[in-house]
Amino acid sequence: MKLRSLLLLSCVPAALQADELEFYRDVYPFLKGNCISCHNKTTTKADLNMETPELMIKGGEGGPSLIPGKSAESLIVQASLHANDMEMPPPNNKSGAVNLTPEQIQTLKLWIDQGAKSTKPQERTVVLQAFAASVDPIYCLAISKDGRHAACGRSNRIFVYDLATRQLVAQVGDPAEKNGAAHRALVQSLSFSPDGTRLASGSFREVKLWKLNLAKPLANSAKSSSAPASPDLIKKIAAAGKVAVLSNAMSADGKQVVTGCNDGSVRVWDAASLKPVIELRGSVATTKKMAELDWTIAAQTLEQTFQKSEITRMEAQDKALDVLLGKANDAITTMKKVLPEKQKAVPPTTEAKVAAQKAVDELTAKFASAKDAAVEKELKTAQDKLITAKMTEVSALAAVSAAESNAKDAEADVTRITASKAANAKAVSAANVAVTAAKTAQDKAAADLAALKQSLTKTAAKSIAVSFSADALRVASMFDDGTLRVWAAATGTPIEESSATTAATTTITSSPDGTFVATKAVTQTVGTLPRWTLERKIDQKGVFADRVNAVRFSPDGKTLATGGGELSRGGDIIFLDVATGKATQTWKEKHSDTVLCLDFSPDGKKLASGAADKIVRVTEIATGKQLNLLEGHTHHVTSVAFRSDGRVLATAGAEGAVVTWDMIIGERKRKIEGWSKEVTSLQFIGATNQIITSAGDNRVRIVNDEGNEIRNIPDLPDYMQAAVSTPNGTTLVAGGEDSLLRIWDSTGKALASFGAK
């Protein structure tokens, strides 16, 4: 042992022997990977935390792990030397920890002998390296509330797509970053504000807010108009479609024709087959109104389903209460029947006890005056009879008391059950009223929607001019009421419009023959160029400990909640004021591991958070009070989402399951399985109970909160990281490791896909 110590000492540099060692500079680096990985705040094996000298001195189950000035007596040194049957780190451990080298052990001993002094932790400097060209997975997606735009993060870049025209409309970039990047590190999280004018993105130790600016096209920009189709082609289209064509234009590639028809419609035709491609009707306002009515119909359907389920639950409860009520009434009847008999049995027992007591008293007096053996024997017999008489009386009284108590308890049960039934009756009545109100609202919305759709087919305005955009992704029409309207050619969605607000310009020209021609013209411009510019960068020192894994706007758009924290040490939630970027609330270590997902309740009063600690927490925002702690996952909680009515919360787990929670009672509603790998994201679709999910098993899957599968899009080429849906469920969007953003319709039919290039 002495020889070993001498050899170890000889390995220590002379400068190290002379200078006073610092914990964080000289000791912490080799303890971190080989000791602290199992003895830290989160994983405290043997109740020992080795992250600071103070905690090591405090020790664990075996006492202090170090004694300042006495390295030979310190358990940490003995364990490192594998002395006294201690071997740390243990062989084949899961943390990948290895034995300390002789030099490291000697440094540890010298530091302890110098007093094991603590020093100020050194700030970790992170140097981010440039990404390889092949590193561009989609880790996060966001969709605007109106379903118009979808944003995805690829590597450190952000792309925004127009789902109406199905095209890339912007690559969001920070001028301070290279190659059009939005962040230096990976984009971990994205969220649109409720009004769609802001986009928040989270990355390593920073959050950025991007502002949408709708720029008008330059006045001197190149202009073009679609050439008209040939008269012969228009004649064939009119005959095939049985319509009268008032205006027409040909796409630049000659494959499609757009016509303005006498029924007020604008139609796109395939030039080769003469088949209709899409019919364009309606305005931006009518489309918005139809979306609102669709939401109302779905929300009121959900409300009816909930209220009917409550009625069913209470009716079942009433049946059980009726059984209990019957038993209680039977008990009352029985007790009332037997009680008089039991009461009648008491007086004889009392009389017998009194007589027995009198006999004992007389014999006691007699025996006291003359100690006679016969009298003594007679007294003992009398005393035995007295004991029996007393016990008989006690039993009779107890029988009466029990009968009275049973009757009283049964009467209390009747009162309680009757009150419960009355409360249920009141609740059922209220639920029936709610069902009726929801049905009325649903029927009205459905009727309004049908009327609105019908009105689109009877428009009085006629199309007097039509044109394709240069890329044929948009179609414009000028109507005789002065409205200029633009639709997305792929989806038929009205996207922009303008009405004449300026006076017409009139010019008169003359001809050599003496005739005059008056021309009256109105110039209108419609169309904007979306530009996302950096509004604010939030990266102040100490605000974010590590990656910002979740960003979420509050329903009113005034607050941005962020989730992150230091991996394996704590999960932090920070609320930022959107207008100023300043933190309004900070919940440090809300979870014991990094926060991965967040969602506000629809009323904005609660926040659900999921983390790598396998826990879901629901917290009241105003007070910071925890309302629910939900345990049901066996691995990281990767995503959380409230249903539109706030009554159900859905959570996704890396163990390959989705759990739905009844937020009225705070208990698990259903565990939904069927995935073979991690469920990476989930979102409720609009105001329905349907949930779109993505998973590592290369699938996008839609289930409802009862666990029934609605749709399954299988056999995708790679691991899917995120999936979202438009509020009406007509468009599904997902992305993953292969960097492709995929778009499907509600049936799962592929509509488009976009790569990073």
Taking only the tens place, the pLDDT of each residue in 603-619 is 999 999 999 999 999 99
Counting residues of the chain whose pLDDT is more than 70, the rounded percentage is 91
Cβ atoms of 754 and 740 within 8 Å: the answer is yes
User: What pLDDT is stored for residue 664 in this prediction?
Assistant: 95
Tokens representing residue 88 in the block: 């740390």
Q: Return the minimum-mean-pLDDT range out of 29-43, 470-484, 595-609, 627-641.
A: 29-43
Q: Supply the pLDDT for residue 654.
A: 96
Q: Which of 194-198, 282-286, 478-482 is predicted with the least confidence, judged by mean pLDDT?
A: 478-482
Consecutive H or E run containing 68: none
The predicted structure's pLDDT at residue 12 = 43
* pLDDT of 223 strictly over 80: no
- Indicate if the pLDDT at residue 460 is higher than 70: yes
Which residue ranges form the domains of the chain, and what is each CATH number? 2-113 (no CATH), 138-207+537-754 (2.130.10.10), 231-282+459-497 (2.40.10), 286-456 (1.10.287.950)
Is the peptide bond between 68 and the residue preceding it cis, with omega within 30 degrees of 0? no
Q: Given a cut of 70, is residue 720 above it in pLDDT?
A: yes
Among the residue ranges 68-82, 349-363, 586-600, 721-735, the one predicted with the least confidence is 68-82
Would you say residue 504 has pLDDT above 70? no
At 124, the pLDDT band (50, 70, 90 cuts) reads low
Which uninterrupted H or E stretch holds 212?
A: strand 206-215
List all residues 6 or more positions away from 756 whose beta carbon is below 8 Å from its beta carbon: 136, 154, 155, 157, 159, 739
What pLDDT does 39 receive?
86
pLDDT tens by residue, 403-454: 999 999 999 999 999 999 999 999 999 999 999 999 999 999 999 999 999 9
Q: pTM for the full model?
A: 0.83
Residue with tokens 């007589």: 355
> Which of residues 142 and 504 earns the better pLDDT score?
142
The burial of 523, by beta-carbon neighbours within 10 Å (0-12 exposed, 13-18 middle, 19 or more buried), is given as: exposed
What's the pLDDT band for 134 if we cut at 50, 70, 90?
low
Q: What is the mean pLDDT of residues 103-128?
A: 80
The answer to which of 199-203, 218-222, 240-244, 661-665 has the lowest mean pLDDT is 218-222
End-to-end CA distance of the chain: 66
The closest of 655, 613, 646, 612 to 627, measured between CA atoms, is: 646
Q: What is the mean pLDDT of residues 366-386?
A: 89
- Stretch 543-559: mean pLDDT: 96
**Calpha distance 235→465 (Å, rounded):** 17
Mean pLDDT value of segment 687-714? 96
pLDDT tens-digit readout, 379-410: 899 899 999 999 999 999 999 999 999 999 99
Report the C-alpha gap between 545 and 535 in whole angstroms: 22
Mean of per-residue pLDDT scores for the chain: 90
At 753, list the tokens.
Answer: 């896909």
